[in-house]
A and B are shown apart, each in its own frame.
Chain A
Amino acid sequence: MSIRLQNVAKHFGNSRALEPLNLDIRDGELVGLLGPSGSGKTTLLRIMAGLESADREPAGRIQFGDRDVTNLHVRDRRVGFVFQHYALFRHMSVFDNVAFGLTVMPRKSRPTSGEIRARVHRLLEMVQLEQLANRYPAQLSGGQQQRVSLARALALRPDVLLLDEPFGALDAKVRQELRRWLRHLHDELNFTSVFVTHDQEEALELSDRVVVMSNGRIEQIDTPDALYRAPVNRFVFEFLGDVNHLEGSVRSGVLTCGDASLKVALPDGEDELLLRPHEVELVEAPTADAHLPVTVTAISPVGAEVRVELEADWLGEPWLATIRHADFERLNLARGVRLFAVPRRWHRFPEERTAAAMSLLETVS
Chain B
Amino acid sequence: MSTRSLSIGIGSTPKRVLPGFGLSLGISLTFVSLVLLLPLTGLVGQLADLSLAQYWAIISDGRVVASYIVTIGAAAVAAIVNAAFGLLLAWVLVRYEFPGKRLLDALMDLPFALPTAVAGITLATLYSSNGWMGRLLEPLGLQVAYTWVGIALAMAFTSIPFVVRTVQPVLEDMPVEVDEAALTLGASDGTAFRRVILPHLWPALVTGTGLAFVRSLGEFGAIIFIAGNMPYETEITSLMIFVRLQEYDYAGASAIASVILFVSLALLLAINIWQGRFIKRLHGGRG
Q: Which residues of A line the B interface, CB within 8 A?
A: 49, 51, 74-76, 79-81, 83, 85, 87-92, 100-101, 104-105, 135-136, 138-139, 149, 152-153, 155-156
- In contact, B186 and A101 (Cβ under 8 angstroms): yes
- In contact, A51 and B186 (Cβ under 8 angstroms): no
Interface centre among B175, B181, B184, B186 (most CB of A within 10 A): B184
- In contact, A101 and B177 (Cβ under 8 angstroms): no
Contacts of B187 in A (CB 8 A): 75, 100-101, 104
A74-B183, A101-B186 in contact; A89/B284 too (CB < 8 A)? no
Contacts of A155 in B (CB 8 A): 185
Q: Please, how many angstroms separate the alpha-carbon atoms of A103 and B180 in the complex?
A: 17
- In contact, B282 and A51 (Cβ under 8 angstroms): no
Q: Please, how many angstroms separate the alpha-carbon atoms of A49 and B186 in the complex?
A: 12
The 8 Å CB contact of A51, one of B178, B184, B281, B284, is B184
Closest to A164 in B: B177
Contacts of B183 in A (CB 8 A): 51, 74-75
Closest to B181 in A: A87
Q: Please, how many angstroms separate the alpha-carbon atoms of A80 and B183 in the complex?
A: 10
Taking the complex as formed, is B182 at the interface, i.e. its CB lies under 8 A from any CB of chain A?
A: yes
Contacts of A100 in B (CB 8 A): 182, 185, 187, 195
Contacts of B182 in A (CB 8 A): 89, 100, 104
- In contact, B282 and A91 (Cβ under 8 angstroms): yes
A85-B175, A104-B195 in contact; A90/B282 too (CB < 8 A)? yes
Minimum CB–CB distance from B240 to chain A (whole Å) comes to: 42
Number of residue pairs across A and B with beta carbons under 8 Å? 76
- In contact, A138 and B184 (Cβ under 8 angstroms): no
- In contact, A152 and B185 (Cβ under 8 angstroms): yes
Taking the complex as formed, is B188 at the interface, i.e. its CB lies under 8 A from any CB of chain A?
A: yes
A91-B200, A104-B191 in contact; A74/B284 too (CB < 8 A)? no
Minimum CB–CB distance from A87 to chain B (whole Å) comes to: 4
Contacts of A49 in B (CB 8 A): 184
- In contact, A79 and B184 (Cβ under 8 angstroms): yes
Q: Which residues of B line the A interface, CB within 8 A?
A: 175, 177-178, 180-188, 191, 195-196, 199-200, 281-284, 286
Contacts of B191 in A (CB 8 A): 104
- In contact, A85 and B177 (Cβ under 8 angstroms): yes
- In contact, B281 and A136 (Cβ under 8 angstroms): yes
Closest to A91 in B: B199
Q: Can you report 30 A-B residue pairs in the complex whose CB atoms are below 8 A from each other? A: A51-B180, A51-B184, A74-B184, A75-B187, A75-B188, A81-B181, A83-B180, A83-B181, A87-B175, A87-B180, A87-B181, A88-B181, A89-B182, A89-B199, A90-B200, A101-B186, A101-B187, A104-B182, A104-B188, A104-B191, A104-B195, A105-B186, A136-B281, A136-B282, A136-B283, A138-B283, A139-B283, A149-B181, A156-B185, A156-B186
Closest to B180 in A: A51
Interface centre among B185, B282, B283, B284 (most CB of A within 10 A): B185
Closest to B185 in A: A101
Tell me the interface secondary structure of chain B in the complex: helix
Closest to B192 in A: A104
Minimum CB–CB distance from A108 to chain B (whole Å) comes to: 13
The 8 Å CB contact of B186, one of A88, A89, A104, A135, is A104
Q: Please, how many angstroms separate the alpha-carbon atoms of A138 and B285 in the complex?
A: 11
Q: Please, how many angstroms separate the alpha-carbon atoms of A75 and B185 in the complex?
A: 6
Interface centre among B183, B186, B283 (most CB of A within 10 A): B186
Q: Please, how many angstroms separate the alpha-carbon atoms of A90 and B283 in the complex?
A: 9
- In contact, B177 and A153 (Cβ under 8 angstroms): no
Minimum CB–CB distance from B183 to chain A (whole Å) comes to: 5
Closest to A90 in B: B282
Closest to A104 in B: B187
Contacts of B283 in A (CB 8 A): 136, 138-139
Contacts of A136 in B (CB 8 A): 281-284
- In contact, A75 and B184 (Cβ under 8 angstroms): yes
Closest to A101 in B: B185
Minimum CB–CB distance from A64 to chain B (whole Å) comes to: 14
- In contact, B186 and A87 (Cβ under 8 angstroms): no
Contacts of A81 in B (CB 8 A): 180-181, 184
12 more contacts with CB within 8 A, not counting A75-B188, A87-B175, are: A49-B184, A51-B183, A51-B184, A75-B186, A85-B177, A87-B180, A87-B181, A88-B181, A91-B199, A104-B191, A139-B286, A156-B186
Contacts of A156 in B (CB 8 A): 185-186
Closest to B177 in A: A87
Closest to B186 in A: A75
- In contact, B284 and A135 (Cβ under 8 angstroms): yes
Contacts of A83 in B (CB 8 A): 177, 180-181
Q: Please, how many angstroms separate the alpha-carbon atoms of A80 and B186 in the complex?
A: 10
Q: Please, how many angstroms separate the alpha-carbon atoms of A156 and B200 in the complex?
A: 24
Minimum CB–CB distance from A196 to chain B (whole Å) comes to: 14
Q: Please, how many angstroms separate the alpha-carbon atoms of A51 and B148 in the complex?
A: 48
Contacts of B195 in A (CB 8 A): 100, 104
**What 4 A-B pairs have minimum CB-CB distances, sorted nearest first?**
A101-B185, A87-B177, A81-B184, A87-B181
Q: Please, how many angstroms separate the alpha-carbon atoms of A136 and B282 in the complex?
A: 6
Q: Please, how many angstroms separate the alpha-carbon atoms of A302 and B19 in the complex?
A: 43
Q: Please, how many angstroms separate the alpha-carbon atoms of A90 and B284 in the complex?
A: 11
Closest to A162 in B: B184
Contacts of B281 in A (CB 8 A): 136
Contacts of B286 in A (CB 8 A): 139
Interface centre among A74, A75, A88, A92 (most CB of B within 10 A): A75
Contacts of A88 in B (CB 8 A): 178, 181
- In contact, B178 and A87 (Cβ under 8 angstroms): yes
The 8 Å CB contact of B184, one of A85, A90, A139, A153, is A153
Contacts of B175 in A (CB 8 A): 85, 87
